[in-house]
Amino acid sequence: MTDLFLAYESLFAFVGINGLLALSVYATLCCGQLSLANAGFMAIGAYTGALITLRAPGVPFIAALAASALAPALIAVPLGLPVLRLRGVFLAIATVGFGEVVRLFFVNWDYTNGALGLVAIPQRTHLWTIALALALALYVLGRLRGSRTGYALEAIREDETAARTMGIYTTGHKLAMLVLGAALAGLAGGLEAHHTFMVAPGGFAFGRVVDMLVQAVVGGTAAFYGPVVGAAFLTVLPEVLREAGARLGLAPGPFRLFLNGAILLAVILYLPNGLVSLPARFRRRARGMA
């Protein structure tokens, strides 16, 4: 058991980091906002943490991680105030634009070695750091459900106009969730930078935020833990099937993309509430047969 754990430590680390990222997309999704700025937020967090560790070696890791979460959260405020007025697909496009601007900024910034990025970042992330961050994020989002704020978020998701006339300050709630999502994405970025030794703009392209969204949707956004289930499933599955893919003569990269696409399609068609709705579906079916 211990051997297995050690052999797959890095895989578990990625499950945790991807889980945090999927939760960061869930934060805005749970109040009905499709924001795709999270690869940008993650980049800001990753670069902030890595720069602190590299340029100011005396700073404790926890402070660098806090800065990783804080920097994108601060940037989310001036971003959110104008773009959260947009709805649906317009918000998605505007936030994709933000993500690309951030990526191109780092591509062109000499101080962080442009497209090459930062390398030789000391590895300070441990599995338990990631587990703790994920547990904390899950706890906060889980407690949100059923609280006064949680009800307000659900109301905004269901009918924003009606929510406003119930006295719910929708702009404030949406902004708060965008900021929370930005902090989670930044934290994940900081953790990843100190896990993989390097940070480069190529890792924060549009495909990254699509991954986060796909994981959240596959897991299911009706429950706060759904995105983590989706992230775990889509991170572990390609590893499990790597062998099978290799036997079929498929390269691992394209194979993973193909698998993600196929799973997303299957889930949207047959399981619109995600993997977390499976148990309830089985129970219903069992009752139906009895």
CB of 173 to other proteins, least distance (A): 10
Cα(90)–Cα(232) distance, integer angstroms: 30
Site residues (CB under 8 A) for other proteins, limited to 111-140: 139-140
Q: Which of 75, 191, 63 is nearest to 132 (CA)?
A: 191
Applying CB under 8 A, among 143, 283, 284, 285 the residue interacting with other proteins is: 143
Q: Which of 8, 61, 105, 151 binds other proteins (CB under 8 A)?
A: 151
Q: Which of 148, 240, 248, 253 binds other proteins (CB under 8 A)?
A: 148
Report the residue from 115, 116, 162, 268 that binds other proteins according to the rule CB under 8 A. 162
What Å distances lie between residue 51 and 38, 193, 249, 268, CA to CA? 20, 10, 41, 40
State the DSSP code for 199: B
| 168 near other proteins (CB under 8 A) | yes
| Pick 139 or 282: Cβ nearer other proteins | 139
CB of 107 to other proteins, least distance (A): 39
Residue 13 to residues 5, 40, 93, 136, 226: CA-CA distances in angstroms? 11, 21, 31, 16, 18
85 belongs to the binding site for other proteins (CB under 8 A): no
Look at the block and give the residue holding tokens 């340029």. 55
Q: Using an 8 Å Cβ cutoff, are 102 and 42 in contact?
A: no
Q: Minimal distance in Å, beta carbon 167 to other proteins?
A: 4
CB of 161 to other proteins, least distance (A): 7
